[in-house]
Amino acid sequence: MADQVYIIPRRNDLDGMNIQVTDLQPNESQKNYIYDGFGQAGYLKWSADAPGTTTVSGDSFVSGSTQTQPLAALVADDTTGGGNDVGVPQVCQFGLAAYFMDRIDRGAAGAPFSAAEAVTAANNLFTAVEAGTAPTAVNIDAVLNGVVAGSGLALGLSFGNVEEVLRILRGEVYRLRALSIISDQTLGPFLALGARQIIVAAQTPAQIVSQGQFYAAGAFLADGDAAFRDFRPLYRTGYFNVSNGEGVIAGLKANVDWNNPNFAYPAAAVTTFTPRALTLDGTAIPATGIAPAVLVVDNQGNFL
């Protein structure tokens, strides 16, 4: 929405710190459900996971990272039983790299990003944003173009958009199910969303039983899905402007000083159950625990 804003965590150790933005209105627990809009005040808990492997059961998240890396390559598969006709991942995958693999037309030339290219693009965007590059359409396209010339969110057959990327950056979980159609059976031509939808719609119940349920694209997890994260939409109100300029949000944009006991700050403190505290681009947070907590953008990705 035009007036929506996004708080993007710059560190992965927010969970468990009881960080609450208290100076936004209305408060979810105190609002009048007839007259007030969406609750605004609330806790900041989720952040984009550090990239890593993901354990799944079918298409359900079990454990690991919701930023799956490395990604599995596409495999030729058969939607009808009459022979291979599509290229799909054979395992469920999550995160920004999976989003780029699903939705970006490589070089606007009708080809999908390889698994390695999608991972590179995702990591480069995390690095760029942490370094101070606003995640606008122009700048996201520059990252994609830097991996494969001519690539962009809406170039060629691509069907990505800025707000979906912002949702992933703030910690929402994007899922690319197994058997999500990305290319034709040669694994070369990228298939437009409409072409994928036609193939999926043509599957008969018998073919779904015998060949499996195919999908036209990935999507964000919904309530009830394992690893679903419930984000309240935030809007650029007067309360937000004050908080962002000199209130709670402004304080979180500056350096904050904490040590979350669920995370390790010195490298020697890392264990199987205590991961390293990292910034958005995967850099280790100093042993002091002092680092900025968030950045804030509008719905076009411009810094606020």
Taking only the tens of pLDDT, the chain with its 304 residues reads 568 999 999 999 998 888 888 888 766 555 555 555 566 667 789 999 999 999 999 999 999 999 999 999 999 999 999 999 999 999 999 999 999 999 999 999 999 999 999 999 999 999 999 999 999 999 999 999 999 999 999 999 999 999 999 999 999 999 999 999 999 999 999 999 999 999 999 999 999 999 999 999 999 999 999 999 999 888 998 889 999 999 999 999 999 998 999 999 999 999 999 999 999 999 999 999 999 999 999 999 999 9
pLDDT at position 35 = 55
Other residues' Cβ atoms within 10 Å of the Cβ of residue 91: 17
- Expressed in angstroms, the distance from the first to the final Cα of the chain is 16
Say which residue the tokens 């709670």 belong to.
Answer: 248
- 96 contacts: CB under 8 Å, gap ≥ 6: 48, 67, 122, 125, 126, 165, 168, 169, 174
Using CA atoms, how far apart are residues 187 and 189, in angstroms rounded to an integer? 6
Say which residue the tokens 């990272």 belong to.
Answer: 65
pLDDT at position 26 = 65
pLDDT at position 214 = 98
Angle at 196 between CA 105 and CA 52, to 5 degrees: 60
Q: Supply 143's token pair.
A: 């990252």
